[in-house]
Amino acid sequence: MPDYDYDVTDDERELAGLVRQFADEVVAPRSYEADRTHTLPLDVVAQMGELGLFGLPFPEEYGGQGGDYFALCLAIEALGRVDQSLAITLEAGVSLGAMPVFRFGTEEQKQELLPPLLAGEALAGFGLTEPEAGSDAGATRTTARLDAGEWVINGSKQFITNSGTDITRFVTVTAVTGEADGRKEISTIVVPNGTAGFTVEPAYDKVGWHASDTHPLTFQDVRVPEGNLLGERGRGFANFLHILDEGRIAIAALSTGAAEGCLEAAVDYACKRTVFGEPLATRQGIQFLLARMQQRVHVARLAWHHAARLRDAGKPFKTQAAIAKLTASDAAMDNARDATQVFGGNGFMNEYPVARHYRDSKILEIGEGTSEVQLLVIARALGVA
């Protein structure tokens, strides 16, 4: 177990230990086969729901656990240590699926949509990214117009997590709903899966996160009720930016888990692998490499802990979230590379977790805001951008 003494309560430590045990006993033994077959194990997702992981940061009145974002991130870190695909399924299911409804939905929408999401019985996606609109989400081309009390949606989205599983209920879509002061008015609209004209295209053949569900989406004259507007009209992009700030903390936690998983595997292998009659770990070069890996894990954990505590205290956390994501995603990528080097040829074989972490970790520097976007956020906070 990591050294959590510096800022974690007994209840939080117990939660982290519970999820870590679940990850070791249930998730890890299935990870290689799920990765090899590009299959999200929905039975494991259901068990995550039974543990209450999808409901951790939500009030009990909607079926949540009454916890906070810090608790969610502890769970994501514990899962990310052994399987990034399952960790991102949880992260996206909460941050991008349920959280927008909780933050901006009407009471009726919350009562209808949240309970199955928080129980892990259903998943939802968030359709923001488009072929021409990623970091520049203001370039959104998907449109929605009102006609006879319904939104008529046309456009496409890409890289949408949890959008095509057998238990996906809906996606929340950003769309241009008009203009205000010469600028695009962007709103968010809930589109149930199975709606006529809404097509979940075939899954991507990705470099990593093979067991995570990710699809492009197309919308051709998709009609949904006017009441499916989520939040105030014209506030869709602004609202999503707040959701994205929270999500960056969760990605930092996932990255920290991945970095720690690589460290643990590298230490174990270095102690067992014999080279020229001695354990690999007796070589000073390997010792220093492992020490650097430990340094990265520790700093990454401190960074996301700080950002999460600020968020839960209701204090500004945007810059700290960017710092945490930048620091932790770098740590995951660097530790994956170094762990693969320690494993040598075995590190290039997919059945070894370090090989999967090596493939998986690159997206951590891209998703929910690239490293360059994080640098821009930090620079703006310094007043120089």
94-110 pLDDT, tens digit per residue, is 999 999 999 999 999 99
Is the overall model pTM greater than 0.85, yes or no? yes
Q: 3-state SS of the chain: helix, strand, coil percent to 5?
A: 55, 20, 25
Domain boundaries, the chain: 10-121, 124-234, 238-381
User: Which tens digit of pLDDT belongs to each residue from 128-167?
Assistant: 999 887 667 678 899 999 999 999 999 999 999 999 999 9
β-sheet bridge partners, residue 175: 187
Q: How far apart are CA 88 and CA 94, in angstroms?
A: 10
Question: Which top CATH class is 10-121?
Answer: mainly alpha
Sign of the alpha-carbon dihedral angle for 253, 259, 261, 263: negative
Paired sense of beta strands 143-147 and 150-161, if any: antiparallel
E strands along the chain, which residues? 123-127, 143-147, 150-161, 168-180, 183-192, 198-200, 214-225, 229-230, 274-275, 278-279
Instruction: Please state, rounded to an integer, the average pLDDT across all residues of the chain.
Output: 95
Cβ atoms of residues 378 and 225 within 8 Å: no
Q: What dotted CATH number matches 238-381?
A: 1.20.140.10
Sorted by sequence, the CB contacts under 8 Å of residue 190 that are 6+ apart come out as 101, 109, 113, 170, 171, 172, 173, 224, 228, 229, 230
User: If DSSP codes are grouped into helix, strand and coil, which group holds residue 104?
Assistant: helix
Fold of 124-234: Butyryl-CoA Dehydrogenase, subunit A; domain 2 (2.40.110)
Instruction: Spell 166-192 as b/e; 16+ CB within 10 A means b.
Output: ebbbbbbbbbbbeeeeeebbbbbbbbe
Low-confidence ranges of the chain (pLDDT < 70): 1-5, 134-135, 137
pLDDT score of 1: 58
User: If DSSP codes are grouped into helix, strand and coil, which group holds residue 40?
Assistant: coil
Q: Indicate which residues carry an active-site annotation.
A: 368
pLDDT score of 242: 83
> If 0-12 CB within 10 Å is exposed, 13-18 middle and 19+ buried, where does residue 325 land?
buried
Q: How far apart are CA 105 and CA 128, in angstroms?
A: 17
